[in-house]
Structure formats: structure tokens, C-alpha cells
Amino acid sequence: MKIVQDLEDELRDILLTYKATKKKEYLKLLAVKPSFKIFPTTIITAIKFKDQTENILHVPYSYDPYSLIVDRFSFILFRTPEEIKIDEVRQFSNLTIEDCKMLVFSPQLWYDTVLKRAYELLAKQTIKTKFEKEL
């Protein structure tokens, strides 16, 4: 996945502006420049997990919105609130700095919508790699 250049530049500038290793450092940077652009983000997790040790890091191929799956969370990054076309998703998305919202799925919905495709791609890549080594 490749983020479009203007969004990549904007994200990089924000991250570098507020880069800190300690909370105190971050708060000082925030005091100097207290506001930054908030990108609409939807965070998804499950109410419980079938296997507590089942962790994943996956970047699904997506473009506007961008996605990232890390452990028990799926993050969807939109460029603008208008890009969130589904009202139910918009309702649980973080559109302002004050928001702290998250979609919480059932274990089966989490598997079906977040994990299943990642596992399928991993299996396909594993098979392809094994086949290429045998040639």
C-alpha cells in the first residue's frame, strides 16, 4: 500500500512536529503548537477474542480510506469526514480531538470482517513462496 504523497507529507509533518519519547516532552511540544489537523479515524475491536494470543499486524491493500490492523485493533484513516460514506461508521468515528469512539464487534463479526481476509492473503502468499522455491 502506498499513501498518496500529499497525505503522506501531511502525516509526516504532524508526526515529526510532535515527536517525543516522554509525555512531558510531548506536552511541551503541544503547548508550543496546541492544534493540529485531526484525520477522521475509525477504530474497531471485538468485545472478546476466541484466542487471546492470536495477534496480527497487517496492512490491507486499501486506498482512501487506509487501513491498519494491529493486534486487537483495526484502524481506518480517512482524509476527510465526507469520505465516511456509511452513517453507522461515521457515528462511531473520531472526527474531532474530543472524540474517543470505537466500534466493538462480536468475535464472529471481528473474524469475518477483519481477520479472515488477512489470513487468506497470508496463506496465499505462503503457498506462492513455497511453490516458487520448489521451481
Q: What is the pLDDT of residue 58?
A: 82
Q: Is the peptide bond before 40 cis (omega within 30 degrees of 0)?
A: no
What is the model's pLDDT at position 63? 64
Tell me the pLDDT of the chain (135 aa) as tens digits: 567 888 888 888 988 998 999 999 989 998 998 888 888 999 999 999 887 777 788 887 766 688 888 999 999 999 888 888 888 888 989 998 888 899 999 999 999 988 888 888 888 888 888 777 776
Query: For residue 11, what pLDDT is reported?
Result: 87
Q: What is the identity of the amino acid at 116?
A: K
Is-contact 81 90, C-beta < 8 A? yes
Per the structure block, which three cell numbers stand in for 95? 472526527
The DSSP secondary-structure symbol of 20 reads: -
DSSP 38: P
Rounded to the nearest angstrom, the gap between the alpha carbon of residue 67 and the centroid of all alpha carbons in its chain is 5
Does residue 52 contact residue 108 with C-beta atoms inside 8 Å? Answer: no
Domain locations along the chain: 1-37, 38-134
Q: Which three cell numbers stand for residue 129?
A: 513462496
